[in-house]
Structure 1
């Protein structure tokens, strides 16, 4: 294929030859005329192709490029190849842009891009939810006009973005805590990164409460012990008085021991995310152990009824189940006045789920306290709880054991009438009496 320059040179040579031939045969006028005619043909051809090229470049659609012949063919060919290269690059850039958008949309954090005037250039859907934005509506709006929280406006105005801020009561339901930090990039632009720290804030608050509660629970018996020791050291006591003080000190020491044991039990349960074992637990044996412990704790002050309405057993960890069942029964004993009655029952509901329930005739619990009963150290009546010897961790332990057995802890209570605590186990945790027991023995 000749280049455009080569073809033009050939055409020019033909024009010179034609002019020379005409000059020899017909004179100078005919020679000049012949040269003009020969040169006019490519000029007209070029004009036509330039017009076609102008229309093509002015059109929005660059797909249908004209394909002339002659020396313009190479020009259009090169232009077409350039257009295809530019189109491929544009498609690659567009695909990369879409991948960036998809990545930002998949981010677990809210993202807002601001220009040099703090106007919104782009934000992901999570940021829209956090700030109540709508990108199509709010694009190019100043962010401080849309988020009118004083702490945020002050943070944005100071331009000191080394630190982050936490804004409370955000989100669709005004129940989120958001950590916000701005990162400079480009020419005076900023990237807002928004992280939901609600759970972290709650965990931190629980940690502070836990430390405060443990300190408080330990301080009381330690203070009492120190008081008794000072008394024994400073005052001459006879044997009965010494025995009395030693008994009181032993009681406080036992209280601290129970607290430490419950804390260790709770820590072990929280650290063990693996579901409980699937060994068959004999419920008749478990009920007998619970009954003996309950009668010893009550010392004849309560009436008991232990009912086993099914011979089905449970798949689970015997030690953990004994702890959970005993905690429910001992709680009922502690909070039921002398002369009251307590019923512990194991059976199946209509859906075939296993249920262990403890019902008492105690004072009952107001409804506002029910959601918080399984929190560590939560007490409806703090003074009475300490008098009865509870550590404040029993129901927290029960809840964790229930979770490890895929069970639910259900609480029903009516003030003045009593309470019912139920552990409901899924059907696949209920063991067939003979078949599953034989399989467990074989294993």
Structure 2
């Protein structure tokens, strides 16, 4: 390839030769015209190539432009290669950008990017859901104009982002608890990370309630025991009084023992999330055990009717099934008045599901209490439950055992007439 200086020198030489020949044959004006024509040819050629370059540039198709000949071939070739490389780099950057956006969108946390003026540069769909934002509508809006919670505005104003901020009662249903924290990046920009901690807050509240309830349940029998012990230490009692006090202390100790046992049972059930094993549970034998335990607990104050209406047995964990059935029967005894009747029945329903139901003639339960009966320590009548020795954990245990056996606990009650508690097992757990 010839250099620019060589090409220019060659062009001048050709113009000189053409002017000399025209001067010798046609005169000086012809010589000037000949020199101008020689010099104009590459100028016209360059103009044509520039016009072509403009045309393909406007159409964004420089890389597909046909290559001319001569000096412009090298220029167009290098330009095409440069444009092609730039487009590949841009495409690679766009793909990487799209991957980052997809990753941010897939995040379970809300992400909001703020500029140096706290204006929204970008946010993912989770953040839109948390705060009721719309990125297309709210882009470049100051976030404190859109989220007007005083604690959040103060958090942005103080610029002390070392600690997170908890916002409660957020969202359209005002039922979300959000933990957010701003992280500086770039040129005075901030990344706002938002996490839904609603379940954690609920679990923490349940833990506090659980500790408070256990403490409350334990305090009464411990107080009674300590009172009797102090009385026996400070007074000279006869044997009849001592026996009476010992019997009362034993009753309170037995109550604490039952509470601890139920707590351990509930803890084991909550820690074991696997389905119960498929072991055959002999229903007639189980019903006989339940009847003996019920009669011992009732001490002749109730009439019982234990029925096995189906010859089918149940597949599950026998110890857990006995505990669930026993809790339902013992609850019926505790909450039914003397001379009341209690019916326990095992049968198959019309679609082949196994059902164990316990029906009592007790005072019944108002409808507003039914949805909360399986909560730990929830009682409709606290005083009566304590008088009859209940721990407040029986139905919570039944619910967890039912979940382990893919069963449903169904509660039906009419105030003044009685209640029916039914455990409904799927057909897969019923065997002939």
TM-score after normalising by structure 1: 0.92
Which residue of structure 1 aligns with residue 404 of structure 2?
Answer: 404
Q: Alpha-carbon deviations, 1:116-170, whole Å to 9, x = none?
A: 2221111111111111111111112111221222222222222111111222221
Structure 2 CA distance for partners of 1:224 and 1:34, relative to 1, 3 Å: same
Which residue of structure 1 aligns with residue 20 of structure 2?
Answer: 23
User: Distance in 2 between the 1:425 and 1:197 partners?
Assistant: 34
Q: How does 1:1-400 map to 2 (within 5 A)?
A: 2=1, 5=3, 9-10=6-7, 12-13=9-10, 15-16=12-13, 19-20=16-17, 23=20, 27=24, 29=28, 34-59=34-59, 62=62, 64-400=64-400
Contact 1:19/1:32 (<8 A) preserved: no
RMSD value over aligned CA atoms? 2.0
Structure 2 CA distance for partners of 1:258 and 1:25, relative to 1, 3 Å: closer
Q: Alpha-carbon deviations, 1:147-205, whole Å to 9, x = none?
A: 22222222222211111122222123221111121112112211111111111011000
Contact 1:365/1:413 (<8 A) preserved: yes
Q: Alpha-carbon deviations, 1:341-383, whole Å to 9, x = none?
A: 1111111111211111111111111222111111111111211
| Unpaired stretches in structure 2, ≥5 consecutive residues | none
The Cα shift of 1:386 comes to 0.8
Q: Which is worse superposed, 171-180 or 248-257?
A: 171-180
Contact 1:16/1:35 (<8 A) preserved: no
Structure 2 CA distance for partners of 1:150 and 1:11, relative to 1, 3 Å: closer
Structure 2 CA distance for partners of 1:403 and 1:96, relative to 1, 3 Å: same
Structure 2 CA distance for partners of 1:25 and 1:209, relative to 1, 3 Å: closer
Contact 2:15/2:36 (<8 A) preserved: no
Q: Which is worse superposed, 132-141 or 198-207?
A: 132-141
Contact 2:22/2:34 (<8 A) preserved: no
Contact 2:183/2:190 (<8 A) preserved: yes
The Cα shift of 1:247 comes to 0.8
Q: Secondary structure at the match of 1:301?
A: coil
User: Distance in 1 between the 2:406 and 2:176 partners?
Assistant: 29
User: Distance in 2 between the 1:111 and 1:176 partners?
Assistant: 16
Contact 1:18/1:31 (<8 A) preserved: no
| Unpaired stretches in structure 1, ≥5 consecutive residues | 434-443
| Number of corresponding residues | 429
Q: Alpha-carbon deviations, 1:320-357, whole Å to 9, x = none?
A: 00000000100111011111111111111112111111
Q: Secondary structure at the match of 1:372?
A: coil
Q: Alpha-carbon deviations, 1:234-279, whole Å to 9, x = none?
A: 1111111111111111111111111111111111111112211111
The Cα shift of 1:96 comes to 0.9
Structure 2 CA distance for partners of 1:24 and 1:67, relative to 1, 3 Å: closer
Which residue of structure 2 aligns with residue 439 of structure 1?
Answer: none
Q: Secondary structure at the match of 2:206?
A: helix
User: Distance in 2 between the 1:95 and 1:72 partners?
Assistant: 34
Moved over 6 A (4+): none
Contact 2:53/2:62 (<8 A) preserved: no
User: Distance in 1 between the 2:113 and 2:42 partners?
Assistant: 56
The Cα shift of 1:44 comes to 1.4
Contact 2:120/2:143 (<8 A) preserved: yes
Which residue of structure 2 aligns with residue 437 of structure 1?
Answer: none
The Cα shift of 1:294 comes to 0.5
